């Protein structure tokens, strides 16, 4: 029986690794046409969206879920958890947030963390939570927990999970990661199917896990290329990747043929891709401000210009899709599986994201083996710089 009353569980976290790790998206990125991709619909986690009108109803229902959490056999009381969070991780958690945390208390942090842990434990056992509203809104909760600035530091969840289990060790950290990965595999085709296994040693938040597992070289295309429909007129062919195990960033361009992995675009994958893109943008922007060297999982084409894989993918798709006709081309070739209302919505999604690019996506990693006759027709209409690598036909 775990001893939930233990309060001597500690977790050593270097202060330098915690400060400002929980990002707040800039206003220009989360307003306008992108607003629905970055704001919670039903649940607020952490300080940034606290008091958001659409999440107020859920605050009452959080309490009903927490009743089930505190009633777990051997678990501690609410008061014990508040004291535990206050003593062990509240101040450290506040240091993680780069935005305004005024009014966010240790009790609020405890409630958010315990709610998530109870949700994960219930999901793992295929048990319903003790609240009808939460069950009905489970899909919306799932998507809200993917939002990049609707997060808790991972170590807070680790501390709470450790208290539930009575102690902390590597097994429990790995177990918690397994619960998170399993829970978010709801979007299996797009989510972990497109990544390698997460590294538990430096995980901080759900999007941060994806920084660890995203090991792919960014796709590379010349800037200013025409859309997919126009490229076909130039003789460029589009095919879905032959490799069924290809990740979504494994784009190749060889012998006049661009191969792009299949991507099912629906409401959920829009939210996930947009928030990964936003996180990737902030990480690359910070890196460009502080170093001239590329960080892990990034490429650099010139000093201080780090480009992440998600940013590169979005820039590529934004370049290829300028109108519904471009979407039709990619759908016909099996590259896009459009579950949105129409092709215009797909084009609008990628174009709106593409306009939010913070870093210059200049590429040199993909061999652009384009025949001279294609280049001649291409360059006769617009000035384009083609970066050629060592991959040859």
Which strand (E) or helix (H) includes residue 258? Answer: strand 257-260
- The model's confidence at residue 243, banded by pLDDT at 50, 70 and 90, is confident
pLDDT at 245: 61
> Mean pLDDT over residues 271-300, rounded?
67
> Mean pLDDT over residues 88-93, rounded?
94
Contact 79, 3 (CB under 8 A): no
CA distance 266 to 172: 34
pLDDT at 223: 52
DSSP 22: B
pLDDT greater than 80 at residue 232 = yes
Per-residue CA distances from 308 to 167, 169, 196, 299, 360 (Å)? 37, 32, 16, 7, 11
**Phi, psi for 259 (deg, rounded to 5):** -110, 125
pLDDT at 375: 46
pLDDT at 133: 86
Q: Among 80-89, 222-231, 330-339, 340-349, which stretch is predicted with the lowest mean pLDDT?
A: 222-231
Between 152 and 181, the more confident residue is: 152
Bridge partner residues of 300 (DSSP):
306
pLDDT at 187: 53
Q: State the average pLDDT for the chain.
A: 76
**3-state DSSP call for residue 97?**
strand
> Mean pLDDT over residues 288-312, rounded?
55
Q: Among 11-25, 153-167, 252-266, 315-329, which stretch is predicted with the lowest mean pLDDT?
A: 11-25
Distance separating the N- and C-terminal Cα atoms of the chain: 64
pLDDT at 305: 52
Q: Among 3-7, 113-117, 376-380, which stretch is predicted with the lowest mean pLDDT?
A: 3-7
**3-state DSSP call for residue 71?**
coil
pLDDT at 229: 95
Between 282 and 318, the more confident residue is: 318
Closest CA to 49 of 143, 31, 41: 41
Tokens of 237: 């062919």
pLDDT at 313: 85
Between 149 and 207, the more confident residue is: 149
- Cα 14 from chain centre: 24
CA distance 213 to 234: 37
**3-state DSSP call for residue 328?**
helix
Contacts of 160 (CB under 8 A, 6+ apart): 81, 85, 110, 113, 114, 117
pLDDT at 181: 82
pLDDT at 363: 37
Q: Among 171-175, 188-192, 270-274, 350-354, which stretch is predicted with the lowest mean pLDDT?
A: 188-192
- The model's confidence at residue 256, banded by pLDDT at 50, 70 and 90, is confident
**Phi, psi for 344 (deg, rounded to 5):** -60, -35
Question: How would you classify residue 259: left for phi > 0, otherwise alpha for psi between -120 and 50, otherwise beta?
Answer: beta
> Mean pLDDT over residues 274-301, rounded?
64
Between 114 and 22, the more confident residue is: 114
User: 336-338 and 263-265 as β-strands: parallel, antiparallel, unpaired?
Assistant: parallel
Helix axes 343-354 and 267-290, enclosed angle (nearest 10): 10
Using one digit for the tens of pLDDT, what is the confidence trace for 176-229?
A: 988 988 888 755 544 444 445 444 444 444 455 444 434 444 444 445 678 999
Per-residue CA distances from 46 to 113, 163, 249, 349 (Å)? 9, 20, 31, 27
Q: Could you count the other beta carbons within 10 Å of the beta carbon of residue 116?
A: 24
pLDDT greater than 70 at residue 258 = yes
CA distance 19 to 204: 12
Q: How many helices (H) and strands (E) does the chain have?
A: 17, 7
CA distance 68 to 320: 50
Contact 80, 179 (CB under 8 A): no
Tokens of 251: 């784009």
pLDDT at 55: 95
> Mean pLDDT over residues 328-334, rounded?
97
CA distance 335 to 238: 8
Using one digit for the tens of pLDDT, what is the confidence trace for 13-39?
A: 444 455 667 888 888 888 778 888 999
The residue extents of the domains of the chain are 15-213, 228-379
Tokens of 262: 């299949």
Q: Is 381 exposed, middle or buried (0-12, 13-18, 19+ CB in 10 A)?
A: exposed
> Mean pLDDT over residues 124-132, rounded?
82
Q: Among 34-48, 94-108, 368-382, which stretch is predicted with the lowest mean pLDDT?
A: 368-382
């Amino acid at each position: 029986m775990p001893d939930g009353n233990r309060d001597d569980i500690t977790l050593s976290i270097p202060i330098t690794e915690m400060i400002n790790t929980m990002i707040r998206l800039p206003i220009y990125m989360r307003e306008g046409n992108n607003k629905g991709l970055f704001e919670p619909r039903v649940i607020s986690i952490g300080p940034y969206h606290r008091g958001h009108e659409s999440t107020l109803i859920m605050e009452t229902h959080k309490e009903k879920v927490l009743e089930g959490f505190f009633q777990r056999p051997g678990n501690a009381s609410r008061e014990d958890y508040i004291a535990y969070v206050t003593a062990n991780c509240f101040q450290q958690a506040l240091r993680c947030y780069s935005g305004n945390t005024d009014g966010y208390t240790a009790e609020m942090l405890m409630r958010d963390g315990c709610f998530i842990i109870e949700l994960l434990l219930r999901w793992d056992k295929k048990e319903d939570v003790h609240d009808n509203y939460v069950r009905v809104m489970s899909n919306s909760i799932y998507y809200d927990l993917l939002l990049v600035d609707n997060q808790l530091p991972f170590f807070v969840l680790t501390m709470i999970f450790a208290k539930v289990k009575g102690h902390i060790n590597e097994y429990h950290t790995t177990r918690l990661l397994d619960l998170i990965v399993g829970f978010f595999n709801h979007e299996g085709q797009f989510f972990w199917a497109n990544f390698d296994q997460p590294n538990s040693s430096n995980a901080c938040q759900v999007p941060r896990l994806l920084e660890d597992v995203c090991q792919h070289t960014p796709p590379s295309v010349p800037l200013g290329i025409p859309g997919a429909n126009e490229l076909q007129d130039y003789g460029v062919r589009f095919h879905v990747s032959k490799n069924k195990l290809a990740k979504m960033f494994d784009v190749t361009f060889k012998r006049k043929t661009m191969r792009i992995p299949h991507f099912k675009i629906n409401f959920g994958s829009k939210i996930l891709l947009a928030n990964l893109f936003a996180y990737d943008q902030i990480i690359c922007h910070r890196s460009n401000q502080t170093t001239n060297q590329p960080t892990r999982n990034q490429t650099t084409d010139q000093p201080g210009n780090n480009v992440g894989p998600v940013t590169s993918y979005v820039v590529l798709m934004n370049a290829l899709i300028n109108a519904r006709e471009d979407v039709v081309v990619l759908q016909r070739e099996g590259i896009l599986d459009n579950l949105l209302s129409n092709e215009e919505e797909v084009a609008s999604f990628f174009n709106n994201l593409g306009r939010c690019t913070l870093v210059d996506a200049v590429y040199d990693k993909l061999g652009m083996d384009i025949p001279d006759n294609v280049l001649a027709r291409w360059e006769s209409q617009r000035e384009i710089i083609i970066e050629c690598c060592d991959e040859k036909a």
